Structure 1
């Protein structure tokens, strides 16, 4: 299978599981020690991140905009998924955004690390009001 086809297949599987809030489906794409780095939730094990995300979500509609693949400076495979995340928070508040998820893959093609990259200027306040708790802020003690 070509790298482009693998990238598209993984991107499609990831977005489908994410949109359906399929915890086991999304976790099946991760290595056992898979980790997520999120601007709202901070760094945490994949299971913890997606469990909390799905509790904080009412619904979402995801639109794939593109994929990119390459490698880290250490030679690990990378896949970036650019998509529109039309997110509705648990209380019904709309919090849509464009996002790039950068996936560092292991030798078996499982997600070892996932870095979520987007501008939180509009999403962070809505998230904090909806969840009634502060979001993660790098450097905050």
Structure 2
């Protein structure tokens, strides 16, 4: 498979825009039907389960792309994008971090598996506190 660089750029730009807008439909359109997300906080989940959870935990997201890296000429296309995620949790707590997302793509350019990589230590306590509040108010 060989995906054009323009397709990769569109994928990354579309993903970050959908993430910032908390647009579930737009983000899921970038995934294969059986796409999976591996997240340090949420674990391994189907994309259609992960994003509703993430967006429910989010008041605001501001994303700033640093760099895109890709291997699109081989049989298994892979795109990595390094970005700053100025995340504000649903309770208003800032939880910013820098991440690298590694996307494995199928032959149509849709994400089959997204691996999210970042250090959770600086934000884990705030995220866990919000999870406790959410579970007691439910």
Alignment TM-score, normalising by the size of structure 2: 0.90
Deviation for aligned residue 1:104: 0.1
Once residues 77 and 114 of structure 1 are traced to their aligned partners in structure 2, the CA distance between those partners, rounded to angstroms, is 12
Task: Give aligned pairs, total.
Answer: 131
Aligned to 1:111: 111
Once residues 113 and 3 of structure 2 are traced to their aligned partners in structure 1, the CA distance between those partners, rounded to angstroms, is 22
Deviation for aligned residue 1:3: 3.0
Deviation for aligned residue 1:75: 3.2
Deviation for aligned residue 1:2: 6.6
Give the helix-richer structure, 1 or 2. 2
Once residues 86 and 35 of structure 1 are traced to their aligned partners in structure 2, the CA distance between those partners, rounded to angstroms, is 23
What is the DSSP-based 3-state SS (H/G/I as helix, E as strand, rest coil) of the residue aligned with 1:48? helix
Once residues 90 and 105 of structure 2 are traced to their aligned partners in structure 1, the CA distance between those partners, rounded to angstroms, is 31
Matching of residue 123 in structure 1 with residue 135 in structure 2: no
Q: Which contiguous aligned blocks of 4+ residues in structure 1 show a shift greater than 6 angstroms? A: none
Aligned to 1:100: 100
Alignment TM-score, normalising by the size of structure 1: 0.88
Write out per-residue CA displacement over residues 67-116 of structure 1, whole angstroms, 9 at most, x where no aligned residue: 00016xx8310000111000000100000000000000001000000000
Contact 2:32 2:112 in 1 (8 A): yes
Aligned to 2:136: none
Deviation for aligned residue 1:6: 1.7
Alignment root-mean-square deviation, CA = 1.7
